[in-house]
Structure 1
Amino acid sequence: MSRPPGHLHVPAAPDGDPARLPSPAAVGRPSRILVDLDAIAANHRAIADHVRVPVMAIVKANAYGHGLVPVTRHLEAAGATRLGVAFVEEGIALRQAGVTLPILVMGGIFGPQVAQFIVHDLELTVSSLSKLGQVEEAARTLGRRARVHLKIDTGMERIGVHAASAGALVEAAVRSPWCETVGVYSHLACADDPDSPMTALQLERFLEACAHFDRLGAPMPLRHLANSGGVLHFPGTWLDMVRPGILLYGVLPDPASRPVVALRPALSLVSQVVYFKVVRAGSTVGYGATWTAASDTRVVTVPVGYGDGWPRALSSRGEVLIRGRRHPLAGRVCMDQFMVDIGAHSAWNEDEVVLVGRQGPEAISVEDVARCAGTIPYEILVQLNERIPREYRGGADSAH
């Protein structure tokens, strides 16, 4: 349905002069991500109060879809003390944005990039003797010491020296004139499941590897092991620091996770109705004609699609909120749009549509979307790409 006359937000310019119309950017895309910066800061405080050890805030993957630079600046202003990213490019972007906190790059290092870590004062993950050698060579060439965290593989088989053979790496790092060993860490494979026995085994292996520092009479660096699942379920893994990722944004990592920390979801995804029509019984909707109207019904179109990162797996399965009611998707999610069956209910063009978030008495969480799409909350968040504008609320420097 179209709005009555007088509802339009932007009247036509006199004489149809396009130069006098607002630009598309000024009007704004009807789809947008709303990020509550204060919720992220509150989650950081709640986690810190829960674990009583320092917190490394993980802001990789565009701060889990929330926006790397705005989120990190707000965390820094709110008292965060350390950051973790995946790639050197993310760390450099933060340095160029003026962020001065210690930043650990947790991904495996690529030899030709090592000098960039050192020049931009980024902490490196050293996962083998050969990687240590690459770091030492770059540091020697630059005449600057590198700050490193040793990575111990306790069961992920991703990167890191096996715990049983970590002694040689620890000794070489401790004795290196070009490296300062800031931390030693591993990654938990099954901590999202509070009943998994794997975490106890990984903790045992990790502590055995850390014992090499005592054997050498060297100061113990920061030991960090707990990810979001570890924060929730395994206090023994908290050690000297924890590394929450998805938990920082108010989302649980897994359906089995126990919500033992009070969190506030930080992200909402909203759009607007851009088309309304009546679909007659027996008519099909969307690509492949996979959905058929069982009776005369009302269908609206929403301008979000898999080109924005909205999962195609939600085709004829997902739900959205319109006027405080849940309505199912009809047919396949397209690249730029999807359709919604609103039945006998009403909707106007430009009505708000909530894909993630709250509207009236109803709410759709990231966890709900992930469950419906047959995936994990992480994937839902990080797939939301830059085609959707982000609006920031809260904080001293809220910006678009």
Structure 2
Amino acid sequence: MSEPLNQRPTRIVVDLDAVGGNLRAIRQRVGVPVMAIVKANAYGHGLVPVARHLVAQGAEQLGVAFVEEGEALRRAGITAPILVLGGILGRQVASLLRNDLEITVSSLDKLRQVEAAAEALGRKAVIHLKVDTGMERIGVHSYSCGPLIEAALASRWCQIKGIYSHLACADDPASPMTALQLERFSEACAHFDRLGAPMPIRHLANSGGVLHFPDTWLDMVRPGIILYGVLPDPDAHRTVELRPALSLISQVVYFKVVRAGHPVGYGATWAPPAGTRVVTVPIGYGDGYPRALSNNGEVLIRGRRRPIVGRLCMDQFMVDLGPDGTAYVEDDVVLIGSQGEETIRVEDVARRAGTIAYEILTRLNERVPREYPGVSQPG
């Protein structure tokens, strides 16, 4: 009998039906095309399988951070439009063009680099102009974007497909910053009307914008974390019905009885006040599971919440079952997800670890295999 392709008891299980359902709910709310953001390994869910599913479910466009992510999607046979959102260097432009990737142009200097590479290759570049309306990250300032827009319109080698900015505070429905950014963005876009040029696709709304600010939806929206069923902020309003798509599951690999006062783990930071039962789980910070959960996190075993005790190790951690708790080797341990009547959400893990849900998801690295139930070859 052949060995299974993966024997590691720790795995990420991704519910692609949930991802597709979240996309449909977003589309129903906004009524405009969706650029599905799949950067950072689709927020830890798996770049290629998720992107392929989102395109099949009707996402009009994909967004990635780096040229390498776009190249990986093209190698996988994905032909949908892909915008590389991040800042670029001149040496990257040829690869962007050869892979038919849409390019973020954030300054006159970047425009000239794209034009030169496009002319050398004899193919037009599809570009999106990036306007900075308040992030001070990349993009030409909204108050000085006129020369870039004029030069891009005059370019023989660049086709302006879109113009966009990024919202800094849309996760907070009460923040006045979003209205200010929308005003600045509208003033930038008005250059096209003044020049008598057709308006490109305007896209501004991220996940927070989708949830809270209908005025930012414009011609296209760019949801990220809400595609995966996770709110961008604990105080965000649940205006879209979302279903979490990711579960993180391991198994018990060891069981022992620990005597009272005998410390557990590195640094001897925890010892039971009375005899107890402790199990070991084979996942650690080397997989991206936060070390900040040492003596702080919880997992589900046999449908009950159990505390992580001692310091989280690179590859393992220990869980206290209590003096009467029961578990056996190979029992499932749920770190994110549901078991019985209990659920641990990504947001719960982030709160205990003192960080944000984005970081929890994107830190889960390739050492943890991903499974896609119902998909024979996720690719």
Give me the whole-angstrom Cα distance separating, in 2, the residues matched to 1:119 and 1:125.
Answer: 15
- 2:208 and 2:117 map into 1 onto residues whose CA distance is 36
Partner in structure 2 of residue 224 of structure 1: 203
Amino acid at match of 1:171: E
Provide the residue aligned with 2:125 in structure 1. 146
SS in 2 for 1:62: helix
Q: What is the one-letter code of the residue matched to 2:310?
A: G
Question: What corresponds to 2:319 in structure 1?
Answer: 340
Q: Which residues of 2 match residues 191-202 of structure 1 at below 5 A?
A: 191-202=170-181
SS at match of 2:114: helix
Corresponding position: 1:66 with 2:45 = yes
Deviations 1:155-212 (A, max 9, x none): 1000000000011111111111110000000000011111111111111101000100
User: Would the aligned equivalents of 1:302 and 1:337 in 2 still touch at CA under 8 Å?
Assistant: yes
Q: Superposed, which structure 2 residues align to 1:10-25 within 5 Å?
A: 23=3, 25=4
CA distance in structure 1 between the aligned counterparts of 2:226 and 2:7, rounded to whole angstroms: 30
| Counterparts of 1:150 and 1:342, CA distance in 2 | 56
1:374 match: 354
Where 1:139 maps in the other structure, the secondary structure is helix
Alignment partners' CA distance in 2, 1:371 and 1:203: 31
Q: Structure 2 vs 1, CA of residues 54 and 372 (structure 1 numbering), >3 Å: closer, same or farther?
A: same
Q: Distance in 2 between matches of 1:96 and 1:26?
A: 22
Give 1:271's match in structure 2, choosing from 238, 250, 264: 250
Do the aligned residues in 2 keep the contact of 1:192 with 1:228 (CA within 8 Å)?
A: yes
Distance 1:398 1:45, change over 3 A: farther
For residue 108 of structure 1, what is the aligned residue in structure 2? 87
Residue 103 of structure 2 corresponds to residue 131 of structure 1: no
The CA deviation string for residues 135-169 of structure 1, in whole angstroms up to 9 with x for no partner, is 00001111111000000000100000000001111
- Shifted more, 217-226 versus 26-35: the winner is 26-35
Structure 1 counterpart of 2:343, one-letter code = A
Task: From the superposition, tell whether residues 52 and 285 of structure 1 become closer, same or farther in structure 2 (CA, over 3 Å).
Answer: same
**1:305 and 1:337 in contact (8 A); partners too:** yes
Once residues 287 and 166 of structure 1 are traced to their aligned partners in structure 2, the CA distance between those partners, rounded to angstroms, is: 55
The answer on 1:356 being equivalent to 2:336 is yes
Residue deviations 1:33-77 (CA, integer Å, cap 9, x gap)? 000111111111100001011110000000100111111111122
1:246 to 209, 219, 225: 225
Offset of residue 27 of structure 1 = 5.8
Given candidates 323, 327, 343, the residue that maps to 2:306 is 327
Deviations 1:322-370, CA, capped at 9 Å, x for gaps: 0000001001110000000110210001100000000000000001100
Secondary structure at 2:336 match in 1: strand
Q: How does 1:84-123 map to 2 (within 5 A)?
A: 84-123=63-102
Q: 1: CA distance between counterparts of 2:66 and 2:182? A: 26
Name the TM-score, length of structure 2 as normaliser.
Answer: 0.98
Amino acid aligned to 2:34: V
Change (3 A) 1:239 1:364: same
Mapped pair 1:390 → 2:364 = no
> Residue in 1 aligned with 2:187?
208
SS in 1 for 2:261: coil
- Residue 289 of structure 1: which of 257, 261, 268 is its match? 268
- Aligned equivalent of 2:241: 262
Structure 2 equivalent of residue 169 of structure 1: 148
In 2, the alpha carbon distance for the partners of 1:217 and 1:399 equals 47
Moved more, 266-275 or 27-36: 27-36
| 1:249–1:265 Cα contact (<8 Å) kept | yes
Q: What secondary structure sits across from 2:73 in the alignment?
A: helix
For residue 357 of structure 1, give the secondary structure of its aligned residue in structure 2: strand
Structure 2 counterpart of 1:341, which letter?
D
Deviation at 1:29, TM superposition (A): 0.7
Please give the TM-score of this superposition, normalised by the length of structure 1. 0.93
Quick check: 1:185 aligned with 2:185?
Answer: no
1:81: how far off?
A: 1.2
- Deviation of 1:26 (Å): 3.8
RMSD: 1.1
Q: Which amino acid aligns with 1:354?
A: V
Structure 1 unaligned regions, length at least 5: 1-19
Question: 3-state SS of the aligned residue for 2:309?
Answer: coil
Query: 1:71-99: CA deviations, max 9, x gaps?
Result: 11111222221000000010011011100
Contact (CA 8 Å) 1:38, 1:394: kept in 2 or not?
no
Structure 1 residue 296: deviation in Å?
1.0
Once structures 1 and 2 are overlaid, which stretch shifts more, 142-151 or 27-36? 27-36
- Residue identity over aligned pairs, in percent, reads 72
Structure 1 counterpart of 2:366, one-letter code: E
Query: How far did residue 398 of structure 1 move?
Result: 5.0
1:17 matched residue in structure 2: none
- Deviation at residue 394 of structure 1 after TM alignment: 3.7
Match of 1:6 in 2: none
Change (3 A) 1:82 1:330: same
Q: Which runs of 5+ in 2 are unaligned?
A: none
Aligned: 1:237 with 2:235? no
Amino acid at match of 2:114: V
Following TM superposition, the consecutive aligned residue runs of length 4 or more in structure 1 with deviations greater than 2 angstroms are: 397-400
